[in-house]
Amino acid sequence: MGKVKLDHGLVKYVTDDDEIYYVKQHFDPSFIPSRASRSFLVQETFFSYGPIEKIVSLLGIGRVNIVSVKLEHEMNLCRKDKEMLTELVGPKFYFSRAAYQYDKTSLPHKDPETAMGYQVVFDTLVRNWDDGDRNIWYVSGIPVWFDFGASLDPRCQNIYRFLLKLQDAQETGRVSVITRYFEDFSRRKDDILSRAISMVKSITLSEIRAIVEVAEHNYAGFFAEYLAKNVSQIDEDIDIIRGAFVRRELDSDRSLIFTSIPREAFGRQVK
């Protein structure tokens, strides 16, 4: 039986093996993704959805420096703990491993610049724009990422819309590692991106299917299609992002994107 703890307003769960997880409220999605739907309203609560973080975690573990995510049924909670978590968090919840519990030997990338470059490519794959300092913990100077709730937004699958989201986030003080990585860009950073692209391209369709089926039953087909498409075009997406940030300095207006990208690239307006 684990232990439920409160730490500065945050709910933690400590397992019998002394693994520490932050407990996060799980919201049901406010719309049903549909390939046939070209226009839909996306509520932000959709992205506090446990299975999304689970998908990203399963894809990234062993490939990038990110934490493990577990759904409620994976934790073997006793009745008392479940009732306590329901009272403190809400009727539905999931678990995100504490980043400070990781050590250097358990991370796939020990070099900070390499870790960041691989994260840039991975976050482009899953369209995670909220990967800045608020969601990073440093272990012996090495970054470890947590909180992937902003990922897989249907509105951001178009790479140009994702670029706009990165800029919008920067204007509100949530600067992505994608933006930071291209500051003082170098040949070494470009080589790291090439290796990370190869890593993403090694992800198979069967792996994607297995991951989304484990993490998300109701919308497995939607997210499998989303990820498969992004894997197939990762070279082009990284080229677009690299070109956007390297050719000109990103400024406070939208001239970087709008002056270099044709209007039709954005497709039909999503409400």
Residues 6+ away with beta carbon under 8 Å from 22? 10, 11, 12, 95, 96, 98
Residue 177 has pLDDT above 70, yes or no: yes
- 63/119 Cα distance (integer angstroms): 9
pLDDT at 164: 94
Domain boundaries, the chain: 3-266
Return the minimum-mean-pLDDT range out of 24-33, 56-65, 212-221, 234-243: 24-33
Enter the pTM of the model.
0.85
pLDDT tens sequence across 71-100:
999 998 999 999 999 999 999 899 999 999
Q: How confident is the model at residue 247 (pLDDT cuts 50, 70, 90)?
A: low
**Cβ neighbourhood burial of 226 (10 Å; 0-12, 13-18, 19+):** buried
